[in-house]
Amino acid sequence: MKVKISRKEHFNAAHRLFNPAWTDEQNRKVFGKCANPNYHGHNYEIIVSLTGIPDSETGYVYDMKELSDLMREHVTSKFDHKNLNLDIEHFKNLNPTAENIAMVIWNILRSKIDKSLELKITLYETERNFVEYPAN
């Protein structure tokens, strides 16, 4: 049986939700106050989970310190204290919903981690709203 290990980090960012193909009125109707043109923001919590077989010599599925460093280098140092819509290339043409942010982070990290390990992203936008990708 495999073990799943998880590491939690955070970043604080501004964003707004909107579809550039829509009118302002449509955006307000669908995204409500999340469409505010002047942006709002969140303290995002990100959990990266890796599933695999512990190494017989270390007892680790993956070194948590290395996982933390990987998350900081490729995700949180780039997203922290930024405006996701304006400052992050991935969201130039992609609405920064929690769903899309989680999928972007998954794509960023997938190539950095050995394929033998399953990768999952959990993203808390607030303590009441969170998403997981992939779902299982």
Give the interface with its own copies as residue ranges (CB under 8 A). Answer: 1-10, 12-15, 17, 19, 21, 30-34, 36, 38-43, 51, 54, 57-61, 63-65, 68, 80-83, 86-87, 94-100, 102-103, 118, 126-136
Min dist. Cβ of residue 112 to its own copies (A): 18
CA–CA distance, 98 with 86 (Å, rounded to integer): 16
Is 42 one of the catalytic residues?
A: no
CA–CA distance, 45 with 61 (Å, rounded to integer): 22
> Which residues are paired to 8 by β-bridges?
47
Q: Which is nearer to its own copies, 24 or 134 (CB)?
A: 134
What would the two tokens of residue 63 be?
């070194």
Is 34 one of the catalytic residues?
A: yes
Is 118 one of the catalytic residues?
A: no
Cβ atoms of 42 and 17 within 8 Å: the answer is no
Is residue 109 helix, strand or coil?
A: helix
Is residue 91 helix, strand or coil?
A: helix
Min dist. Cβ of residue 25 to its own copies (A): 15
Min dist. Cβ of residue 115 to its own copies (A): 15
By annotation, the residues acting in catalysis are: 34, 81, 125
